[in-house]
């Protein structure tokens, strides 16, 4: 459907983009520039800004429960936003919202939806017929199971195994869609196949399709909850296929609220949380003591995590 | 503080109002006209639109998970919105948001905040000194306790009793503020009273003030949750002092999303829910049977509620 | 996996069930009787009560902000609960919680999760290998697309078409699992297939499986939100495959909170909401006027809905 | 009212406590011991456990989406809970709930209610008459405004100023209640004062009372959200009058879920979050470099916060 939307309705889309209105609301020029533009993610997915409310000034304004545009001097606004971020005063960040149109594989949608603090309207496969669009990983993302992490990826598959896996994925995806259409009593052009058949209900036929098929939704979230989403999903532990969406949204956030983005990067994304025992180890290290896992009180896994934090440049 | 905001910063407010931006976002002219304008409520309160996102078209658009402006014909949009409202398809209404600046008595704020589905930034009496502004009811709203409803108002107080009550309220409110300032070691002009005293912490001194004192906050809510709030608080059972705020917001809603407002009025506010037994009684009435409370299966209270629904014009 | 849980660990399950503790908390005997017992739904699914908090008395108690067990007389408790339900005083119903272990097809899980007011822990296909269990409709549930309702089912498919559809569903489900195992480098017994292959990461291999495969989760929800879920999903417009879960949970609710169940049935499930214009038509009917769609002010669809409400026995 | 509840209904309370039921649910003996017992906080407040669901085992169980009691070995459960806490896998902690009856001053309730992720039933001053109970700080908590922190306390007030402030608070509290009763047309024994007066509606008369008056509510929250509440409100930056409630709840949590309590203490409460620039400074310190505020890239306030973290024992 999305290609139908973005191709056959291209004229209408152009119309929408061309329309400009006059508003007294907080407006972000850098976001207006990419409003309605699909930003490509994975092979057939995208993220597209549909609407937004507020800017960095709205965060400052809410923090001051004042009506103006905050202080005029940017460094004061940055200082206040840094303070809010550092001290977990999160409510002012709830005062900004963004609404995105997203196209994504079903298995990504299933992870995504676990974040319950957003509003969602998803394309309904009870009501409409899904498009023939499915996700096939690029060869460099076709990873083996990690041997050290139950929930992660290891080396990239190569050679015959890679080819074998890709062939299975593609063939089965194509076959599933062909059978999906058959169940619906449709030919490959979407025309009725056999006048004597009824066609299975769409809400049942969809059962045939695997979770690499694409769905799409409108997704609206406030800035506070967006940062929570991004801190988990733009993280290196997140599955690649959702991380690329998070990264696209990080770029959007940087355009939208640059001061908040800076504070988010400085105080959350690139900072680190140390445990009570981890802190004690750090204090001893600073005093020049030789601290080892054995005398640190940390488990070997925790010790590994601490060392990684302390060694990263 | 609010008067300080709205008076001494009047120039800055005028500046804000005068600024216009160009946007590609959904824009509602009727709302732009009253953006930032305080709408007076009670003796010192107000509701003021700070920002908004979306319009009726955004509801339609989300329902269609499409990108455009919905169908061009208004009657089709109205029909779809009516359908959504009637069948409780509530998620498309979550796609619109409004942010209001509200000044209200503390006891109203305490009822209000029980709606947990909004974002709030309240003026902090730990951080700042409250203004000398308190709510005193108009004589026509000075009601006696209802004798039939534990939670409601009866006749208006008159004569000596009314005067007595108003005098107590006013005197005590004035006295409380005077003592509040005294505890803070401030004179009535807000200047330090006595160099040899420290002044009580603001977070403690505020304990002195009664709940008819005004507070203020930024409050952001989506259209779905706003309608839930309004269906409870613009209702005749709601306390007068919160109902007037709800009524001001109903007016705002009518300007903002006229099609949704129409559907809300038709299908929720002015409709009624009948119980299983109430419905059975109605079916018998339509058949021409004589239905009484006794043979209806309803309690006398339920019977009274049903008759009231059926008799209202 | 669930069958593994419920079969191979049967002894442990028996152990759990046999253990009894002494508690001072509100306890519901009728629920204790079926605690931990899987209630079968669809071909491989189930609903199983893992824990619960509160009972009808807890609703009454919260409504009274009192500490006792509410009034001793059941009819007073029923009256209060009816009142709360009728007047949408919903917060006391939030004071009871239930935690369920549910096994359900992925496409059902995708509808279900749109209710955001519950806590969920789902079986992770990043971490673990899914079982070979998929949903195949019973012949009597293999329905054609409705011709009048875009979102519903029509007649049951019969004969060759039914057989054809079932064959496709079964074959493709079996084949998908076989290829899933192949990608994971596992044979059909779950043993390593080829020492020279790495096996695709589980988080990628799962993409191969269609949405009729079963997943499972722990799902915790309060009584208020449960009723909201049930009012939508035990409704005749809900898809059959989720409705059967809702019906199983209605039975659980009836055991758990019989007074609340009664009020829910009387005031919500079997009642009806009339619009402003619908009410006007009813008032005229009661007066003996001949009301038709044309003179009612209702659209033909609304008129049909009203007539259906008024004719149901 | 609460004293009425806890005194005049003492027999009934004893009854409730004496009743024991047999359950198959997870049960925590250390919590059963204090079930229904009011734990005194401030001069007239309390926290009282009304019900709970789940234990440490329920967290483990949800994390494993398994049905049993988790592993038998406590150290494995502690290890898993530590892992969940460290890596912000928060959903398993949502699977436990606690319901508390709390009596607290209105100004504390106003801070408290800003946490929107709990269920609340509050004593209604529209419906009932408030008790004559108000909070007066102990002399050692009668603090001056901090001169360095706009939102905090400085030295304790002493001598004449302390006496003056306490006298104002007490006199005004007593007077407010006397006038409250007068407005309600009640004498000090709660009897009708004057047959010829109507008495002001309770929903209006309550306006007279200051925010140091006590209210009470039932408050139900899951373990995840409780920890969020405690991390903010048991913190040294929280106002003393809410912190003492948080501390009472920390004790309750320690009894309820000792493994989770340990992880919470180790990984959150007594740990610390370092910013990107703060981490860089720490890395340089460990290498033996002389790091000063000037060459650290931190603001002086951030530097102060970092030094405090590194110096705490």
Note the pLDDT tens digit of each residue in D249-260: 999 999 999 999
Give B-chain residues touching A20 at CB under 8 angstroms: 22-24
Tokens of A264: 């988010």
- pLDDT class of A264 with cuts at 50, 70, 90: very high
Enzyme catalytic residues of B: 233
Q: What does the CA dihedral A298, A304, A305, A311 come to, rounded to 10 degrees?
A: 120
Spatial CA neighbour of D190 closest among D175, D172, D207, D177: D177
Contacts 24+ apart (CB under 8 A), B290-296: none
Q: Which residues of B touch C275 (CB under 8 A)?
A: 86, 266-267, 270-271
pLDDT given at position C1: 31
- Identify the CA nearest to B98 among candidates B241, B255, B239: B255
Work out the minimum CA distance from A145 to partner chain B, whole angstroms.
Answer: 36
C81 is in an annotated binding site: no
Chain C adjacent subunits, 3+ CB pairs under 8 A: A, B, D
User: Please, what is the average pLDDT of chain A?
Assistant: 91
Catalytic member of A86, A110, A233, A254:
A233
DSSP string covering C182-231, please? Answer: HHTTB-TTSSBS-TT---B-HHHHGGGSBTTBEEEEEEEEEHHHHHHHHH
C115 is known to lie in a ligand binding site? yes
- What gap in Å lies between CA D105 and CA D242, rounded to an integer? 9
List the structure tokens of D59. 């967290």
* The pLDDT of residue C3: 34
Residues of B in contact with C305 (CB under 8 A): 86
> Which CA distances in Å does A239 have to A141, A143, C113, C203?
11, 11, 20, 8
Maximal CA-CA distance, chain D = 85
> Mean per-residue pLDDT for D49-63?
95
* pLDDT band of A24, cuts 50, 70, 90: very high
Residues B207/B96, Cβ–Cβ less than 8 Å: no
Of B9 and A243, more confident: A243
B65, B66, B69, B222: which to substitute to probe chain A, counting the most A Cβ within 10 Å?
Answer: B65
Q: Nearest-CA neighbor of D175 among B200, B175, B211? A: B175
ipTM above 0.90, yes or no: yes
CB D111 within 8 A of CB D239: yes
Chains touching chain B, criterion 3+ CB pairs below 8 Å: A, C, D
CB contact under 8 A, B278 and C286: no
The predicted model gives A34-50 an average pLDDT of 97
Alpha carbon of B149 to those of A18, A136, D1, D206: distances in Å? Answer: 58, 66, 20, 17
Q: What is the pLDDT of residue C174?
A: 98
Which residues of D form the catalytic set? Answer: 233
Residue with tokens 């200082």, as numbered in its chain: A79
pLDDT grade for D229, boundaries at 50, 70 and 90: very high
Mean pLDDT value across residues D225-253: 97
- In chain C, the residue whose alpha carbon lies closest to the alpha carbon of B299 is C79
What pLDDT is recorded for position C65?
A: 76
Residue C151: its pLDDT value, please?
75
Neighbours of A138 (CB within 10 A): 10
At A47, which helix (H) or strand (E)? strand A45-53
A243 pLDDT above the threshold of 50: yes
CA-to-CA dists, residue D122 to D1, D110, D201, angstroms:
12, 12, 19
Q: Return the closest-CA partner of residue B217 out of D116, A26, A66.
A: A66
Kindly give, in sequence order, each residue whose CB lies less than 8 Å from that of residue A169, ignoring residues fewer than 6 positions away.
A136, A137, A212, C183, C207, C208
Interface chains of chain D (3 or more CB pairs under 8 Å): A, B, C
CATH code of the domain made up of D2-135+214-269: 3.30.1360.170
Could you tell me which of B268, B276, B87 has the C-alpha nearest to residue C271?
B276
The answer to whether C179 is annotated as binding is no
Closest Cα to residue C249, out of C52, C16, C91? C52
Contact present, A235 and A228 (Cβ < 8 Å): no
Distance CA C191, CA B164 (A): 88
Q: Which residues pair with B210 in a beta bridge?
A: D210
User: Which residue(s) pair with C222 in the sheet?
Assistant: C97
Q: Which residue spans within B35-160 are E strands per DSSP?
A: 39-41, 45-53, 97-105, 119-122, 143-145, 153-156
* pLDDT tens profile A107-153: 999 999 999 999 999 998 988 899 999 999 999 999 998 887 777 88
**Which chain A residue's Cα is nearest to B62?**
A121
Spatial distance between the Cα atoms of C128 and C203, rounded to a whole number of angstroms: 9
pLDDT of residue C9: 45
In this predicted structure, what is the pLDDT of residue D65? 77
Is the Cβ pair B97, A95 closer than 8 Å? no
D5 vs C67, C119, C220: nearest CB: C67
Is C113 marked within a binding site? yes
Q: What is the mean pLDDT of residues A261-272?
A: 96
CB contact under 8 A, C310 and B286: yes
Query: What pLDDT does A244 receive?
Result: 98
Which of D117, D119, D201 to probe by mutation at the B interface, max B CB count within 10 Å?
A: D201
Residues 6+ apart with CB under 8 A from A171: none
Rounded Cα distance, A301 and D83, in Å: 10
Query: Which residues are CB-neighbours of B3 under 8 A, at least 6 positions away?
Result: B44, B131, B133
* Whether residue C167 has pLDDT greater than 70: yes
Per-residue pLDDT at D11 exceeds 50: no
Domain A2-135+213-269 has CATH 3.30.1360.170: yes
Q: Are the C-beta atoms of A44 and A135 separated by less than 8 Å? A: yes
* A62-76, C117-131, C206-220, D33-47, range with the lowest pLDDT: A62-76
Residue in chain A nearest C146 by alpha carbon: A201
Please state, in angstroms and rounded to a whole number, the distance separating the CA atoms of residues C174 and C170. Answer: 6
The DSSP call for residue D8 is: I
Bridge partners of A41? A45
Q: How far apart are CA D15 and CA B154, in angstroms?
A: 39
Cβ distance of C207 and A211 shorter than 8 Å: yes
CB A122, CB B64: distance < 8 Å? no
What pLDDT score was predicted for residue C73? 58
Say which of B87, B275, B311 has its CB closest to residue C266: B275
**Kind and range of the H or E element at B221?**
strand B214-222
Contacts for A167 with CB less than 8 Å, ≥ 6 apart: none
- Average pLDDT over every residue of C124-135: 92
Q: What is the dotted CATH code of the domain comprising B2-132+214-269?
A: 3.30.1360.170
- Opening angle at CA D100, ends D71 and D190, nearest 5: 165
Nearest to B161 among D150, D155, D198 (CB): D198
Cα separation of B81 and C178, whole Å? 46
- Take residue B164 and report the two structure tokens written for it: 């007595």
Annotated binding-site residue? D228: yes
Tell me what the pLDDT averaged over chain C comes to. 91
Segment-wise mean pLDDT, segments of 10 residues, chain B, 313 residues: 38 66 96 96 97 96 64 73 93 97 98 94 90 96 86 89 96 98 95 94 96 97 98 94 98 98 96 96 96 96 95 75
Average pLDDT over residues A252-274: 97
Query: What are the beta bridge partners of residue B121?
Result: B218
Position A207 scores a pLDDT of: 97
- State both tokens at A6: 């973005």
C80, with CB counted inside 10 A (0-12, 13-18, 19+), is: buried
Task: Indicate the pairing of strand D272-274 with strand D119-122.
Answer: unpaired
D94 to C119: CB separation less than 8 angstroms, yes or no: yes
What residues of C are in contact with residue D123 (Cβ under 8 Å)? 65
- Which residues, at least 6 apart from D136, have a Cβ–Cβ distance to it below 8 Å? D43, D166, D169, D170, D173, D212
Q: Is B248 left (phi over 0), alpha (psi -120 to 50) or beta?
A: alpha
Query: What is the C-alpha to C-alpha distance for residues B76 and A267, in angstroms, rounded to an integer?
Result: 49
Chain D residues within 8 A of B165 when measuring between CB atoms = 183, 200
Distances (CA, A) of C160 to A196, A199, C164: 11, 12, 6
CB within 8 Å of C266: residues ≥ 6 apart: B275, B276, B277, C82, C85
Residue identified by tokens 């008067």 is: B3
Domain boundary assignment for chain D: 2-135+214-269, 136-211, 276-311
Pick from C258, C226, C237, C309: which is nearest to B274 by CA? C309
């Amino acid at each position: 459907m999305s290609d139908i939307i973005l191709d056959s309705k291209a004229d209408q889309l152009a119309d929408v983009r061309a329309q400009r209105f006059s508003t007294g609301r907080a407006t972000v020029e850098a976001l207006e520039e990419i409003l309605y533009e699909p930003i490509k993610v994975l092979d057939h997915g995208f993220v597209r800004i549909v609407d937004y409310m507020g800017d960095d000034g709205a965060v400052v304004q809410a923090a001051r429960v004042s009506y103006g545009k905050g202080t005029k001097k940017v460094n004061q606004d940055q200082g206040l936003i840094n303070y809010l971020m550092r001290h977990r005063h999160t409510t002012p960040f709830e005062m900004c919202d963004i609404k995105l149109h997203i196209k994504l594989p079903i298995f990504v949608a299933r992870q995504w939806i676990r974040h319950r603090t957003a509003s969602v309207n998803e394309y309904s496969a009870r009501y409409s017929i899904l498009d023939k669009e499915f996700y096939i990983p690029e060869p460099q993302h076709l990873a083996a199971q990690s041997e050290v992490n139950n929930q992660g990826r290891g080396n990239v598959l190569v050679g015959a195994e890679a080819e074998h896996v890709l062939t299975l994925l593609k063939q089965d995806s194509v076959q599933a869609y062909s059978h999906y259409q058959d169940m619906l009593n449709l030919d490959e052009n979407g025309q009725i196949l056999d006048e004597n058949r009824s066609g299975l209900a769409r809400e049942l036929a969809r059962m045939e399709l695997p979770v690499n098929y694409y769905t799409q939704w409108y997704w609206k979230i406030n800035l506070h909850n967006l940062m929570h989403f991004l801190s988990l999903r733009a993280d290196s532990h997140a599955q690649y296929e959702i991380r690329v969406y998070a990264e696209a949204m990080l770029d959007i956030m940087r355009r939208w609220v640059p001061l908040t983005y800076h504070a988010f990067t400085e105080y959350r994304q690139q900072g680190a949380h140390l445990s009570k025992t981890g802190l004690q180890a750090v204090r001893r290290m600073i005093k020049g003591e030789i601290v080892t896992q054995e005398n640190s009180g940390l488990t070997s896994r925790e010790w590994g995590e601490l060392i990684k934090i302390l060694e990263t440049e």
